[in-house]
Structure 1
Amino acid sequence: MSIRLPDAEHTARPWRIHEIAPDFEVEDVWAYRTPGAGPDDFPVMLAALRAGGGLNENPPVVRFLFAVRWKLGALFRWDEPEQSVVGRVASLCDRLPQDLRQDAAGEAVPNTPFTMVYELRDECVIELTNKTVHGICHLGWVPADDGGYELRMAALVKPNGLLGRLYMATIKPFRRLIVYPALTGKWERAWWNRDRHPGESR
């Protein structure tokens, strides 16, 4: 199962995202089990997650919550193009130092509202922007207590004013009680089923 961790489990590690997004707040940090994983298996894990279908392969209750979110976004125009990283704020890709600039930067991540920022041997960053928030999903690969390696996910956010802070406060219980537990099962199954979906990292 996944375990919610203190923010320091993300902030104390030497991730490159710290130098790129120091103005973002850490919202959540979670660990996901990947039994038998080794130090070089992060690309394998990412390939397994991509093969798992993004937001299209979630339990019904999670699909319902996302459907409600998209309906509200359409009603209040939260997700219009002018609210994107092109329209409202600059993409994190514009902040990247030369050694992190990659061909895939800025590409849409299939079956999700995110776009790619960068991917390394132990760290991957994707972002999204709408009228409420500029958000980052940071995936990292770290040594586990059992001697292997495990996946870490950190959500970093920059709320857009009072609206953004109210939005993040409203969805917090849904994220922690429903969405993240659902991701636990999905992401851990992706690891167990990785040999059924062979693929390469970018």
Structure 2
Amino acid sequence: MSRLAETAHTEQPWRIHALTPDFTVEDVWSFRTPGAGPDDFPAMLAAMQAAGGPAKQPWPVRALFAIRWKLGALLGWDKASAGVGERVVSLRDRLPADLREAPRGPDNDAMPLKAVYELDRESARELANKTVHTVMHLGWVQGADGDHELRMAVLVKPNGRFGRLYMAAIAPFRYLIVYPSLTRQWEQAWRERDQMRAQGH
């Protein structure tokens, strides 16, 4: 994994740009997928899903998420009234007809981010609470070595000054704990994708 400049996301012809003009690019990361070809994005998404979500992360990451959800419950950050479709309108309401008719991708209770759309080379998921409306965009691009690789961009629209302070406060935890662990999980999922398929995952 490596952190990339904002332009690594903004200069790609992604469909997400037209849907998020009021969002800010918070992070852009690349993930190694050796041997990947131009048509392997669905295989990568399937491998990531098989690898599991936050529940399959090491204990430091699980502990951080547990603390965050506990604080959210105590302070009312994650009430339904603060989420997508309540405090903020879902990005799905901004979709043009062709994207609205495209597959959304699977949702499950283990993944708090919910699918907006899923295409052959990009997908988007969103989450909203009292602090922020955020989008995780995944894209599939050719890397410098010729192989294709996964790119993740995190787009955010903080909820006022409180939301901006919240994003600043959690930044060290994202960079030092969450993203490195996520990288190990996703890159290992790519390496082990054939074994996972053979086991029926």
Q: Secondary structure at the match of 1:121?
A: coil
Q: Secondary structure at the match of 1:198?
A: helix
What do residues 130-184 of structure 1 show as CA deviations (whole Å, max 9, x unaligned)? 0000000000000011111000000000000011001000000110111100011
Alignment partner, residue 12 of structure 2? 13
**Structure 1 segment 119-198 matched on structure 2, within 5 A:** 119-198=118-197
Q: Secondary structure at the match of 2:157?
A: strand
Contact 1:54–1:110 (CA under 8 A) maintained in structure 2: no
Q: TM-score, normalised by structure 2?
A: 0.95
Q: Secondary structure at the match of 1:73?
A: helix
Following superposition, the deviation at residue 196 of structure 1 comes to: 2.3
Contact 1:29–1:155 (CA under 8 A) maintained in structure 2: yes
Structure 2 Cα separation of the partners of residues 198 and 102 of structure 1: 28
Structure 2 Cα separation of the partners of residues 146 and 138 of structure 1: 22
One-letter identity of the residue aligned with 2:162:
L
Q: TM-score, normalised by structure 1?
A: 0.94
**Structure 1 segment 1-150 matched on structure 2, within 5 A:** 2-102=1-101, 104-105=103-104, 108-150=107-149
Distance change >3 Å, CA 67–CA 61, structure 1 → 2: same
Q: Secondary structure at the match of 1:101?
A: helix
What do residues 104-138 of structure 1 show as CA deviations (whole Å, max 9, x unaligned)? 54963441111100001100100000000000000
Distance change >3 Å, CA 36–CA 110, structure 1 → 2: farther
Distance change >3 Å, CA 105–CA 82, structure 1 → 2: farther
Contact 2:102–2:119 (CA under 8 A) maintained in structure 1: no
Question: What fraction of aligned residue pairs are identical, expressed as a percent?
Answer: 59
Contact 1:30–1:152 (CA under 8 A) maintained in structure 2: yes
One-letter identity of the residue aligned with 1:129:
A
What do residues 28-66 of structure 1 show as CA deviations (whole Å, max 9, x unaligned)? 000000000000000000000010111111011000000
Structure 1 Cα separation of the partners of residues 140 and 34 of structure 2: 13
Q: Secondary structure at the match of 1:162?
A: helix
Contact 1:102–1:118 (CA under 8 A) maintained in structure 2: no
Distance change >3 Å, CA 178–CA 144, structure 1 → 2: same
Contact 2:105–2:118 (CA under 8 A) maintained in structure 1: no
Unaligned runs of 5+ in 2: none
Structure 2 Cα separation of the partners of residues 47 and 65 of structure 1: 26
One-letter identity of the residue aligned with 1:29:
V
